[in-house]
Structure 1
């Protein structure tokens, strides 16, 4: 996909994030090597570093750190729409819930559903979009839920209400 530099030509602008819209996230296969690599840098707990320690834990196998799950989700969201959008960042994350462990060999997929959208009162060219995200494993089980508000430039300031 061509990543244009002109914000006005991005595919996803504020107006595209209508309440109720659901965006499918791309599939992500999780490998043991990447779990260990992430954990060795950021969360070196035994269940994230060693298969046997993971099996001995309540997680049941070599498990991705919850923060690794969030990082993988972020990449999935970037590839689905964020990198081809007028995104201006986010003021924060409302919540993150790790529902089930992500185990080496899992294949993740997900959805992002717009729950609210409003134009900024102070900056009429900027909108706030609240999105709830769900990440699933290959069994269809929810492994992570999170919600955040992102900031996006309007394609047509003054037209969107």
Structure 2
């Protein structure tokens, strides 16, 4: 299994990723604790049940972001990316809860040749994550510095 090279991406191409992941309380607690995030919205069930409109802990949004991009990697950038250049327009339109199952689609929004490296190009992806009810829970635009197929340098 490998990701795609720069020239294999087409603007408008959509990947419906087969990987799915059900989020557990342990996932959320471990991530929040590893990143030193003491936000009670993520780690304090009693607080959430008694003092929030949600009535339950929310999955840490940075975990959601990382999971969304991670799910996309096998179909898009596994072994063919040089680096992530940035992420923009990150949004979380609906909360994600323990027990929700995430699935992701990725659309190629733009691409261009690298101005500094003839062996690479930049691909802009839009990642969209949904819960098991197909409710949009996260979006992000990501710019990735991608390898060209060996021997295809300009």
TM-score by length of 1: 0.85
- Aligned pair count? 149
Helix, strand or coil at the partner of 2:47:
helix
Q: What does the per-residue CA deviation read over 1:9-66, in whole Å, with 9 as the maximum and x for residues that have no partner?
A: x551001111011112321110011111111222221121122323332333221111
* Counterpart check, 1:66 vs 2:58: no
Q: What does the per-residue CA deviation read over 1:133-152, in whole Å, with 9 as the maximum and x for residues that have no partner?
A: 11000111100011011011
User: 1:108 Cα shift?
Assistant: 0.3
CA contact (8 A) 1:100 1:144 kept: yes
Q: CA separation in 2, counterparts of 1:117 and 1:71?
A: 22
Helix, strand or coil at the partner of 1:101:
coil
Distance verdict in 2 for CA 1:137–1:88, change over 3 Å: same
Q: CA separation in 1, counterparts of 2:55 and 2:102?
A: 17
Q: CA separation in 2, counterparts of 1:36 and 1:30?
A: 11
Query: Which has the larger displacement, 50-59 or 16-25?
Result: 50-59
Q: How does 1:10-159 map to 2 (within 5 A)?
A: 10-25=2-17, 26-42=19-35, 43-56=37-50, 57-83=52-78, 85-155=79-149, 156-158=152-154
Distance verdict in 2 for CA 1:143–1:69, change over 3 Å: same
Unaligned runs of 5+ in 2: none
Q: What does the per-residue CA deviation read over 1:98-132, in whole Å, with 9 as the maximum and x for residues that have no partner?
A: 11111000000011100101111221211000111
TM-score by length of 2: 0.88
CA contact (8 A) 1:24 1:80 kept: no
Aligned-CA RMSD value: 1.6
- The runs of 4+ residues in structure 1 deviating greater than 3 Å are none
Unaligned runs of 5+ in 1: 2-9
